[in-house]
Amino acid sequence: MVGTCADLADRSGLSRVLSLAEARPLEVLLRLSDCLVREPRSAVVGVTGPQGVGKSTLISSLARELSSGGSRVAALLVDPSSPLTGGAVLGNRLRIRDLPSEAFVRSVWAEDERAVPLRALTALEVLEAAGYDYVIVETPGAGQVNTSILRISDLVLVVLMPLLGDEVQAIKAGLMEIGDVYVVNKADVPEADLMYNYVKPFAKGRPVVKVSALYRKNVGELVEVLRGELRRRSLEGSIERKRAERRRYLLEEALLELLHDAIREELGGLASEELLKRPDALAELVRDLKARLANRIVAGP
Ligand SMILES: Nc1nc2c(ncn2[C@@H]2O[C@H](COP(=O)(O)OP(=O)(O)OP(=O)(O)O)[C@@H](O)[C@H]2O)c(=O)[nH]1
Ligand SMILES: [Mg+2]
């Protein structure tokens, strides 16, 4: 049977569990409930920022740096385009291909670019249960800021790059509100200092680090900053609060999914005549739905 705690022991088992989590996340959460962690184990670092700033490239460089220091690293790429239409999923997968071989990478599809879907929340739980020291999550920051990243990450890293107008857009989009650490990427480009000086006051004391992800410049310094920030949060106890918040988010999404499925089933069983002739059907539907949900929890999804 796929999707048992024993599967988490090796990469191929983990891949199978994650594929199942993509199709049937509720099933995975129920089957693995014995091995999901009770104490925070992985540092969950969210990486966001406008399109093309170098998030995927930075994740590769970070993974390389962290792995060479002996940490186990997994990357989870939340991508808004469907695997059926290709697009960004393929893009992220391709650009992240120089990830060190010991790191684990997985992309998950999100139909709504402002949300982290249940399949991604489940993948996070699974990766943490598998014992990764770091789980780095990439979410798109194009258009409206994805605030869901705040609910899943211990630390949010906002990536920016030097380009005309980009700084103004980032600030308008609210990116300067959500970061714990700011990265001005593409430091190899001459305008990088301008961007750095522009961003610095908006960061209000939070660290701003200039790196070149592509040429792996200053990535070690960034890792030191990340480690320092994580340590500080761990001492303050805020990592546990973050973890509780992520679980709350996961449970909300899991319950919504359960409810949606049950509602679709319930309504699917109604004939057209019933819908027409029974304007009072709601009370009865609520009663049936309760019974249906109770059965599902007992029997599994
Ligand atoms: N010059 C320079 N180019 C970089 C650097 N980092 C990334 N790039 C280039 O920027 C482009 C976009 O990089 P990605 O890593 O795909 O950016 P992304 O933010 O993940 O992009 P999306 O996922 O599409 O939003 C690629 O062509 C990279 O090679 C850098 O440090 N310097
Ligand atoms: Mg990317």
Q: Is the CB of 186 under 6 A from ligand 1?
A: yes
Q: Calculate how far, in angstroms, residue 255's C-alpha sits from the geometric centre of ligand 2.
A: 30
- Per-residue confidence band for 109, with pLDDT thresholds at 50, 70 and 90: confident
CA distance 77 to 108: 6
Report which ligand 1 atom has the smallest distance to the Cα of 96. Answer: 15
Nearest-atom index, ligand 1, CA of 212: 31
189 lines ligand 1 (CB under 6 A): yes
pLDDT value of position 62: 96
pLDDT for the residue 201: 92
Counting ligand 1 atoms within 8 A of each CB, the residue from 95, 107, 196, 215 with the most, and so the one to mutate, is 95
Mutational test site, ligand 1, from 98, 214, 221, max ligand atoms within 8 Å of CB: 214
Does ligand 1 come within 6 angstroms of the Cβ of 95?
Answer: yes
Does ligand 1 lie within 6 Å of residue 80's CB atom?
A: no
Do the Cβ atoms of 241 and 151 come closer than 8 Å? no
54 Cβ closer than 6 Å to some ligand 1 atom = yes
CB 246 within 8 A of CB 124: yes
- The more confidently predicted of residues 114 and 151 is 151
Using the predicted structure, report yes or no on whether residue 171 has a pLDDT greater than 70: no
Residue nearest to atom 32 of ligand 1 (CA): 186
Of the two residues 143 and 288, the one the predictor is more confident about is: 288
CA distances from 268 to 29, 261, 285, 299 (A): 26, 10, 12, 20
CA–CA dist 96, 93 (Å, integer): 5
What is the rounded CA–CA span in Å between residue 218 and residue 70?
Answer: 19
CA–CA separation, 75 and 256 (whole Å): 26
- Give me the residues near ligand 2 (ion), CB cutoff below 5 Å: 55-56, 92
Q: How high is the pLDDT of residue 88?
A: 46
Q: Are strands 134-138 and 155-160 parallel, antiparallel or unpaired?
A: unpaired
Token output for 121 = 């929340």
pLDDT value for 52:
86
What pLDDT shows up at residue 193?
92
Phi and psi at residue 12, to the nearest 5°: -70, -35
CB 230 within 8 A of CB 156: no
For ligand 1, say whether the CB of 107 is within 6 Å of any of its atoms: no
Please give the residue that has the higher pLDDT: either 18 or 111.
18
pLDDT range class, residue 170, cuts 50, 70, 90: low
Instruction: For 26-63, give one letter per residue: b (16+ CB within 10 A) or e.
Output: bbbbebbeeebeeebbbbbbbbbbbeebbbbbbbbbbb
Per-residue pLDDT at 139 exceeds 90: no
- What is the rounded distance in angstroms from the CA atom of residue 159 to the CA atom of residue 151? 18
Using pLDDT thresholds of 50, 70 and 90, give the confidence band for residue 111.
confident
* pLDDT tens per residue across span 218-268: 999 999 999 999 999 999 999 999 999 999 999 999 999 999 988 898 888
Q: What is the pLDDT of residues 82-108, one digit of tens each?
A: 555 554 445 555 556 677 888 999 988
Question: Mean pLDDT of all residues in the chain?
Answer: 87
Q: What is the mean pLDDT of residues 27-43?
A: 91
Number of the ligand 1 atom closest to the C-alpha atom of 213: 31
pLDDT at res. 283 = 84
pLDDT at 166 over 70: no
Task: Name the most confidently modeled range: 88-102, 135-149, 153-167.
Answer: 153-167
Of residues 87 and 145, more confidently modeled: 145
Average pLDDT over residues 59-70: 95
- Asked whether the predicted pLDDT for residue 273 surpasses 90, the reply is no
Give all domains of the chain, ordered by start, each with its CATH number. Answer: 37-236 (3.40.50.300), 246-299 (no CATH)
Cβ–ligand 1 contact at 91 (below 6 Å) = yes
For residue 38, pLDDT beyond 70? yes
Q: Does 216 contact ligand 1 (Cβ within 6 A)? A: no
pLDDT at position 15? 94
Give the Å distance between the CA of 60 and the centre of ligand 2: 10
3-state secondary structure 217-256: ECHHHHHHHHHHHHHHHHHHCHHHHHHHHHHHHHHHHHHH
Q: Which ligand places an atom closest to the C-alpha of 95?
A: 1
Q: Which of 103-112, 152-161, 267-276 has the lowest mean pLDDT?
A: 267-276
